[in-house]
Amino acid sequence: MDDSHSFDAYQSEPAALDDIMQKIAEHKGCGTTGGSGKASCGSGAGEGDMPADIWEKVKNHPCYSEEAHHHYARMHVAVAPACNIQCNYCNRKYDCANESRPGVVSEKLTPEQAAKKVLAVASAIPQMTVLGIAGPGDPLANPGKTFRTFELISEAAPDIKLCLSTNGLALPDHVETIKRFNVDHVTITINMTDPDIGAEIYPWVFWKHKRVTGKEAAKILTDRQLQGLEMLTANGILCKVNSVMIPGINDDHLVTVNREVKSRGAFLHNIMPLISAPEHGTVFGLNGQRGPSAQELKALQDSCEGEMNMMRHCRQCRADAVGLLGEDRSAEFTTDKIMEMDVNYDLTARQAYQEKVEEERLAKVAARNAELETLAGENADLSILVAVATKGSGRINEHFGHATEFQIYELSSAGAKFVGHRRVDLYCQGGYGEEDALETVIRAINDCTAVFVAKIGHCPKDDLIKAGIDPVDQYAYEFIEQSAIAYFKDYLAKVKSGEIAHVTRGDADIRQGAFVPVNA
Ligand code: CLF
Ligand code: SF4
């Protein structure tokens, strides 16, 4: 298909970009600085924090709204195998590391197989609201397969939001098609705007039928990415920018990237840690390039948050992921299994289910706000982190031993704020404690004062206490934020009375061993 066009055509539409930036900047709770469109509410913003049309786009998108990610699921279909660039954190044998935890996709699909899979998942998981194409290569290096998949899905399942993630090289050529297929959410991975830095991340790009290397390649890539971003936002398409934080290469520079993408109308910035280990077979993995620690990542995200909305709940998921962020149900929906499934896409039943989800969500927000009022007047200058074992719905509803990740909340007199998550090895395998696994769990939440769980055994409890982490099961099955605020209130009271001393915790690990080929 030939849907290329001149970028200049979009220069006559500055009002559209201004309008979007104004809407984002105007929403309650966000500071604005002149025409720069500063928006600082974070991806945890809810209804009432933004204009109704933007809320409609993000309210049940688990990546664009931190709030939504507790309740709504996404799925990816792996229809796009080819890529037009090379990143030093990617091994072509594995998923796109932009949007996927490195790991083999279990199967590549044709658009027709993908459409069938989407209907099967939509029937089985009524809270699955978003279909994303994110690899395993670059969706826009495979435009025929990508857009045919979107076409089939928008015809068969019109309530599902369409989402696309790209490295951006081919993006300006496809903006019209993206618009035509009502793809409302586009992610561009932008790791640099400086070609000198880009040359350390990208060995080559494939451009105009030839391979271009070095700084020239990085210059082409950054120009195309920023051009594509401007074109999308000028057309009212919500854009998220993903950046991989690579210590010593682009960590300091990402603050500049943040400013550049904000000024071009990006709605959300997602700074993700580099995941790098020799067994990944990537250039960075083999040359010993490390990823950031938990506190290095948080410090960079915090420093950018004053400028624009930051996403902190990304799970760097696979290109064939299915389920809530942080869970992977893809093995339930292999092509073999789908062929045997009784697929019944029932829009009314899906809507009824989602209405129930909304009721639960409103109850959660009301409980949080009521608890927050009891913190009014507190003006403590200390904050703590707590880890939470949850399987979703915004509740503390997972046993310590069954958790494969902990959600991290920062508690202060302003309330409870989601600031990240930590993947861990299962402590409890079949009911038996594994000492090594416990050590890795403790290292992953070492910066936390407490861990909230639905249940926990005596042995891990004792070890957590020895490590200075308070195991808390008194709020089992309650809402996370409401419970966390109540805990913080007690914590402050104990510090004030001298019953406990506030301790500044150390750093924590981001697990690099998340590399689990599903076919292995
Ligand atoms: Fe997929 Fe990406 Fe759409 Fe989400 S993922 S294409 S925006 S539906 Fe989400 Fe996964 Fe992070 Fe991506 S958690 S890797 S940000
Ligand atoms: Fe790999 Fe994605 Fe980079 Fe392509 S854009 S090289 S698939 S990480």
HEC string for 148-182: HHHHHHHHHCCCCEEEEEECCCCHHHHHHHHHHCC
- What integer pLDDT is reported at residue 426 of this predicted model? 67
Tell how far the Cα of 248 is from the centroid of ligand 2, in angstroms.
21
Q: Which two three-digit tokens encode residue 42?
A: 């974070």
State which ligand 1 atom lies nearest to the alpha carbon of 316. 14
Residue 162 sits at φ, ψ, to 5 deg, of -100, 140
SS3 (DSSP) at 388: strand
Rounded Cα distance between 434 and 428, Å, is: 7
Tell how far the Cα of 173 is from the centroid of ligand 2, in angstroms.
19
- The ligand 1 site (C-beta within 6 Å) comprises 63, 74, 76, 99, 130, 132, 134, 163, 165, 185, 187, 270, 314-317, 325
Chain-wide mean pLDDT for the chain?
Answer: 84
Closest CA to 389 of 457, 292, 310, 435: 457
Among all bound ligands, the one having the nearest atom to the CA of 318 is 1
Tell how far the Cα of 63 is from the centroid of ligand 1, in angstroms.
6
State which ligand 1 atom lies nearest to the alpha carbon of 272. 11
**pLDDT band (50, 70, 90) for residue 45:** low
- What integer pLDDT is reported at residue 284 of this predicted model? 94
Q: Strand pairing of 210-213 and 73-76?
A: unpaired
- What integer pLDDT is reported at residue 376 of this predicted model? 81
Tell how far the Cα of 74 is from the centroid of ligand 2, in angstroms.
21
- What integer pLDDT is reported at residue 306 of this predicted model? 77
Q: Which residues contact 79 (CB under 8 A, 6 or more apart)?
A: 108, 109, 110, 111, 114, 133, 139, 142, 145, 146, 149
Task: Decide if 125 contacts 60 (C-beta within 8 A).
Answer: no
Tell how far the Cα of 147 is from the centroid of ligand 1, in angstroms.
18
Task: Decide if 120 contacts 341 (C-beta within 8 A).
Answer: yes
Q: Which residues contact 126 (CB under 8 A, 6 or more apart)?
A: 349, 350, 353, 354
Tell how far the Cα of 161 is from the centroid of ligand 2, in angstroms.
24
- What integer pLDDT is reported at residue 369 of this predicted model? 92
- What integer pLDDT is reported at residue 511 of this predicted model? 72
The per-residue b/e assignment along 457-474, b for 16 or more CB within 10 angstroms, e otherwise, is eeebbebbeebebbbbbe
- What integer pLDDT is reported at residue 56 of this predicted model? 87
- What is the per-residue pLDDT across 262-277, written as a single tens digit (0 to 9) for each? 999 999 999 999 988 8
> Using a 6 Å cutoff on CB, does residue 86 contact ligand 2?
yes
% of the chain residues with pLDDT over 70:
84
Residue 284 sits at φ, ψ, to 5 deg, of -65, -40
- What is the per-residue pLDDT across 140-155, written as a single tens digit (0 to 9) for each? 999 999 999 999 999 9
State which ligand 2 atom lies nearest to the alpha carbon of 166. 5
pLDDT surpasses 70 at 516: no
- What integer pLDDT is reported at residue 94 of this predicted model? 54
- What integer pLDDT is reported at residue 47 of this predicted model? 65
Among all bound ligands, the one having the nearest atom to the CA of 100 is 1
Tell how far the Cα of 104 is from the centroid of ligand 1, in angstroms.
17
Among all bound ligands, the one having the nearest atom to the CA of 138 is 2
- What is the per-residue pLDDT across 203-235, written as a single tens digit (0 to 9) for each? 999 999 999 999 999 999 999 999 999 999 999
Tell how far the Cα of 189 is from the centroid of ligand 1, in angstroms.
11
The per-residue b/e assignment along 353-383, b for 16 or more CB within 10 angstroms, e otherwise, is ebeebeeebeebbebbeebbeebeeeeeeee
State which ligand 2 atom lies nearest to the alpha carbon of 135. 7
Instruction: Name the burial class of residue 144, with classes exposed (0-12), middle (13-18) and buried (19+) by CB atoms within 10 angstroms of its CB.
Output: exposed
- Secondary element (H or E) of residue 466: helix 458-466
> Using a 6 Å cutoff on CB, does residue 442 contact ligand 2?
no
Q: Which residue's alpha carbon is at the smallest distance from atom 8 of ligand 1?
A: 132
Tell how far the Cα of 205 is from the centroid of ligand 2, in angstroms.
10
Whole-model pTM above 0.95? no
Within 10 angstroms of residue 236's Cβ, the number of other Cβ atoms is 18
Among all bound ligands, the one having the nearest atom to the CA of 282 is 2
- Secondary element (H or E) of residue 18: helix 14-26
For residues 278-288, average pLDDT: 89
**pLDDT band (50, 70, 90) for residue 108:** confident
- What is the per-residue pLDDT across 324-345, written as a single tens digit (0 to 9) for each? 888 888 888 888 888 888 788 8
Rounded Cα distance between 394 and 416, Å, is: 12
- What integer pLDDT is reported at residue 509 of this predicted model? 82
- What is the per-residue pLDDT across 430-446, written as a single tens digit (0 to 9) for each? 444 455 778 889 999 99
Within 10 angstroms of residue 92's Cβ, the number of other Cβ atoms is 13
For a pocket test of ligand 2, which of 76, 84, 85 has the largest count of ligand atoms closer than 8 A to its C-beta? 85
DSSP code, position 289: P
DSSP code, position 412: E
Among all bound ligands, the one having the nearest atom to the CA of 165 is 1
Rounded Cα distance between 56 and 34, Å, is: 26
Q: Which residue's alpha carbon is at the smallest distance from atom 12 of ligand 1?
A: 99
Rounded to a whole number, what is the distance in angstroms from the first to the last CA of the chain? 38
